Amino acid sequence: MLDDETLQQEAARVRDRAREMRRDFNRHGERPQWGLLEDEIMEPLRALRNRVDEELAKRERPDSRVPLDRDPVPAPYEDLVRDYYERLGSGE
């Protein structure tokens, strides 16, 4: 659905890992390792769903409040940014 190649690659990676786990289950008849399934399939799928939702929101409603990027705040500015948001949240 989306042209973003990183989203496509992430979806393919999760899909391939799920196929491997299913193939191992069918081949060996072992019960699924639920912790591994959660860590390697479910959690990446949730993160991918959130990124796709954000991308769709940006495309459908350009004026919506969606984060523009995910870059972390540079270390020298962390305190300044935190203070700014604390003041902003308190109404100052």
Report the domain count for the chain.
1
Chain segment 32-58, per-residue pLDDT in tens: 788 988 999 999 999 999 888 888 877
Interatomic CA distance for residues 57 and 67, integer angstroms = 10
Domain that holds residue 85: 5-90
User: For residue 75, what pLDDT is reported?
Assistant: 83
Top-confidence residue, 66 or 76: 76
Q: Given CA atoms 37, 40, 43, 49 in this order, what sign does their dihedral have?
A: negative
Question: Could you give the count of Cα atoms lying within 13 Å of 63 in the half-sphere of its Cβ?
Answer: 0
What are the phi and psi torsion angles at 43 (to 5°)?
-65, -45
Task: Output the pLDDT for position 71.
Answer: 65
Q: What pLDDT is stored for residue 45 in this prediction? A: 93
48 in Cβ contact with 14 (< 8 Å) = yes
64: Cβ–Cβ under 8 A, 6 or more apart, which residues? Answer: 57, 58
